[in-house]
Structure 1
Amino acid sequence: MTGYRSDLKYKSNELGNYIDITHKYSTKKKRVIMDTIPTYRADVYYNGKDYKFISVRYTMLKDKGQYFEIDNNRYEYEKIKKEIDDKYQFIFSIFSGDIIEVQKKDGTIEKVKFKGVNDDEAKKFEIDFIDKNNGGIIENLRKLKEILKNDKEIYIEKNLNELFNKEFEHKEAVEFLEKFPTSSKQKFLTIGKDVVKFEKIYINVLGKEYISQEKFENIIKK
């Protein structure tokens, strides 16, 4: 089963920097590399019940001169390793910056921005808000927590309402802030644990959103 797309968006002159970054340093005797290789994209598969994905990292790309091509042997090895068999159907690829719609186990639905694969084995994605930066939100929440330590009665609900587009009452705002984790500025999503369903959002040049790629492509042709 081939399923996945082997065509790539572009060839970057800086692609090699993701692996070997020796040229950025003055050292001549030592080689400097990045030990964490970024994800080029994630290919998502679904069998009607469970989601699995292949992390297509930059180390899986072969330089063909004018373009890069995915190493098919390494890709197939990853499919075997993750037990992605013929029961799984390829549904889409997601790149950094793509928007996905997520349905969580509690029934809530949220649209988020995909940033990359954080933990391949744990099926964990790094994500962000579409119109806000999670790191900036965490920084603001840390400041509010410090203020709240000194004055439990201070009105923080206005700040939280602006940050999350909610309508918290004072007590709700305090409880929410005290429980909200602020140890990391990264925002994560675990497929299978937090998420029961997710889909890629396709956006046309006018900004209209489509969940179905087929419908999106038919609109483009008209």
Structure 2
Amino acid sequence: MADVIRLLLVDDDALVRAGLSMMLDGTGGIAVVGEAGDGREAVTAVDAHSPDVVLMDLQMPHVDGITATRRLRARPGAPAVIVLTTFDTDENIVHALRAGAAGFLLKDTPPALIADAVTRVATGDPVLSPGVMRRLMDRTVTQTGAYDRARTALAALTPREHDVALAVAEGRSNAEIATALLMSVTTVKSHVSSILTKLGLDNRTQIALLAHDADLV
């Protein structure tokens, strides 16, 4: 992670962007490098400012946050995306994470916790608002065959990769996984990279979703 975390703000409300910029710029090594008013502008702003993290609203005109997240994460060298919204329905949570978002926060999250989330996501750790992970774990899988597909996908992992995947799904950091499984942090990172490649996933939160679909956590 660079010494300064470059942050892009994407929200259709200029007052929200101004408030976030005032609260976050210069906090904990964060530099707000740009803003965008909708998902369409977000792609152009990423090209112009090369942020490390994007703080993304969901409900916006022209291109919504989920679509913008999917487009950004499909590109090489894409920044991490944290969704920041007032709409915490199960559908929004799942769609955002499946689109590649590394975090999901509500707009009533205290500024200090938003800043902490930006820092954590920049280092590769997923971040969810309190209660969101529990809702993911408790939700009923409504997509036909999701359980079987998740089980089949996870069966492609080695036993050690399976252990790491479950630890990731439990929300543990690389350091915590290393301690629990008696391996180095470097080895944990290697296993996580292998898991993402084998399963065709984009980030750690998608590993967690797959484990939840498989009813393993």
Which has the larger share of strand? 1
Which has the larger share of helix? 2
Both structures adopt the same fold (TM-score exceeding 0.5) = no
Rg bigger for which structure?
1
What TM-score do you get using the length of structure 2 for normalisation? 0.26
